[in-house]
Structure 1
Amino acid sequence: MSTPNISRNWFDAGGRGYAQFRPEYPAALADYLAEIAPRRGKAVDAGCGTGQLTVQLARHFTEVIGLDPSADQLENAAPHADVSYLCAPAEALPVPDHSADLITAAQAAHWFDLPAFYAEARRIAAPDAVIALISYGVLRFENPTLNQRFARFYRDEAGPYWPAERRLVDSGYADLDFPFAPFSPPALVIERDWNLAEFLGYVSTWSAVRRMTEAGRADLLTEVAQNFADLWGDAEQRHRVSWPINLRVGRI
């Protein structure tokens, strides 16, 4: 039985951590967005991070632009021949007027100045363009013991360190202003089978974990990592994890 190196700093992740550990979206998400877009010319992914959704859109659209204000995120973004990455905020998109058939923001809109982003979306939207705000909810383990421990970590230990914007993710963006003609999207889910290192790597990308570290609570994080190691069994054993995908989709 293998055991993890708990002395390793699992909780220090930047763009490289996002690229390595953040879950990819199911292909069905990009399929759906392409299906409802008026054309398959240009897609713009604002707040693209390391490109988890961006590269999937390239299977459907002639041109895809991924934009993020973080140079570190973009340096670790997944390369693709049909994707251009630009360092820019969602509130000032370097995209020509009336040119985008699809505008997306995946696990990012809660950080935006939404009125400014919506103004930009309207400016760059081609006729009948689609806008989609995508988020995924709280991770769940299929294993009940791991799920119970995770729920306590998320709620009680990491909870006080989540920024206020996190509540918007927890509500599935239901509380966000969304002044567009809505679609009724399908129910989608992300599923993965992760070993212990992959799970802890994902947790290391949380904003709450960065804030815990900055607050001097690395001791708590080490304790949590050890707890999960004790409950996991063989560190290479794979446990099923899942996240519900939440969508606010509309016609501009």
Structure 2
Amino acid sequence: MKDNFSVHAGKYAKFRPQYPEALFDYLLDLVPERNAAWDCGTGNGQVASRLAQHFNKVYATDISRQQIEQAKPNPKIEYSVQPAEETNFPDRSFDIVTVAQAIHWFDFDAFYREVNRTLKKGGILAVTGYGLLHVTPAVDTVIRRLYVQIVGQYWDRERKYIDENYMTIPFPYTALPSPYFEHTEEWSLEHLKGYLSTWSAVDHYMQDRRTDPVELISDDLKAAWGKESLLTVRFPILLRTARV
């Protein structure tokens, strides 16, 4: 599993979007028992915190200690630094395994072996994430220029799985029908720029060229944003689920 996010763990916790309540309602309806959940690739614990509201215990893992250090402590969550592909969990431990915005970095075959080992019979695997955000047509045009023309060559090859809505990830299970979800938040222009600065391709660009590519679009982004202090940003939710 790649680690592109330890260096900017603080920014990730501050600027990355959440997930909609409707998504968790859907997942909870799939799970008959709510004893234990594994949130794999937990980052700063966004999804783990939501699961902890419903499960007796949540085990949250990530390869980045820096990311986990950004998570809020919760007595129902046990955080640990472990790779997705090899954990110390006992067999048949979990009612659900979740992966949010991370599976494209995994060794798929090894991870699925671990899912098969640690999930209870009939347990749920839920792979989720979010695609490229939408704001307004004018703002989207500027973001798209950053995404494709400026930092396009700096995306890791795994990014294609997000562009393809996770529909092309190896998935050795019969996928359950998944409804469409969208997450919305009200952001300031500065929050948007902070979020763009967390993109892995932006970091790769800066390491290579010693220039912040977000600043290259700053004036155009401000003009496209207009006079509003806050605008609604929309993230399409990616989702693959299966009963294993």
The TM-score normalised by the length of structure 2 is: 0.93
Instruction: Measure the CA separation in 1 of the matches of 2:9 and 2:102.
Output: 14
1:247 correspondence with 2:239: yes
1:36 correspondence with 2:30: yes
**Residue 239 to residue 154, structure 1, CA distance change in 2 (3 Å):** same
Deviation at 1:114, TM superposition (A): 0.6
Deviation at 1:60, TM superposition (A): 1.4
**Identical-residue share of aligned pairs (%):** 38
Which position in structure 1 is the counterpart of 2:195? Answer: 202
Deviation at 1:87, TM superposition (A): 0.6
Deviations along 1:72-111, whole A, 9 cap, x unmatched? 1000013322111111110112211101000011000000
Correspondences of 1:8-27 after superposition (within 5 Å) = 14-27=8-21
1:65 correspondence with 2:59: yes
**Is the Cα contact below 8 Å between 2:128 and 2:239 reproduced in 1?**
yes
Where does structure 1 lack aligned partners over 5 or more consecutive residues? 1-11
Deviation at 1:231, TM superposition (A): 3.1
Where does structure 2 lack aligned partners over 5 or more consecutive residues? 1-5
Deviation at 1:225, TM superposition (A): 2.3
Instruction: Measure the CA separation in 2 of the matches of 1:13 and 1:188.
Output: 30
Which position in structure 2 is the counterpart of 1:173? Answer: 166
Deviation at 1:38, TM superposition (A): 3.0
Instruction: Measure the CA separation in 1 of the matches of 2:96 and 2:213.
Output: 43
**Is the Cα contact below 8 Å between 2:142 and 2:217 reproduced in 1?**
no
**Is the Cα contact below 8 Å between 1:74 and 1:85 reproduced in 2?**
yes
Deviation at 1:183, TM superposition (A): 0.8
Which position in structure 1 is the counterpart of 2:92? Answer: 98
**Residue 220 to residue 123, structure 1, CA distance change in 2 (3 Å):** closer
Q: Secondary structure at the match of 1:53?
A: helix
Q: Secondary structure at the match of 2:11?
A: helix
**Is the Cα contact below 8 Å between 2:187 and 2:230 reproduced in 1?**
yes
Deviation at 1:13, TM superposition (A): 6.4
Deviation at 1:238, TM superposition (A): 0.5
The TM-score normalised by the length of structure 1 is: 0.90
Deviations along 1:152-211, whole A, 9 cap, x unmatched? 221211211111000001101111111113211121111111101110111111100100
**Is the Cα contact below 8 Å between 1:19 and 1:78 reproduced in 2?**
no
Instruction: Measure the CA separation in 2 of the matches of 1:220 and 1:76.
Output: 26
1:238 correspondence with 2:230: yes
Of the candidates 76, 79, 83, which is equivalent to residue 70 of structure 2? 76
Flag as ranges the 4+ runs of structure 1 deviating above 3 A.
none
Instruction: Measure the CA separation in 2 of the matches of 1:181 and 1:220.
Output: 41
Of the candidates 104, 116, 122, which is equivalent to residue 128 of structure 1? 122
Deviations along 1:204-244, whole A, 9 cap, x unmatched? 1110010010011515432222332333334x711111111
Query: Which is bigger in relative contact order (C-alpha 8 A, separation at least 6)?
Result: 1
Count residues in correspondence: 239
Which position in structure 1 is the counterpart of 2:181? Answer: 188
Instruction: Measure the CA separation in 2 of the matches of 1:203 and 1:109.
Output: 20
**Residue 79 to residue 225, structure 1, CA distance change in 2 (3 Å):** farther
Tell me the C-alpha RMSD between the 2 structures.
Answer: 1.6
Q: Secondary structure at the match of 1:59?
A: coil
**Residue 232 to residue 13, structure 1, CA distance change in 2 (3 Å):** farther
Instruction: Measure the CA separation in 2 of the matches of 1:203 and 1:169.
Output: 16
> Which residue type is aligned with residue 98 of structure 1?
R
Q: Secondary structure at the match of 1:34?
A: helix
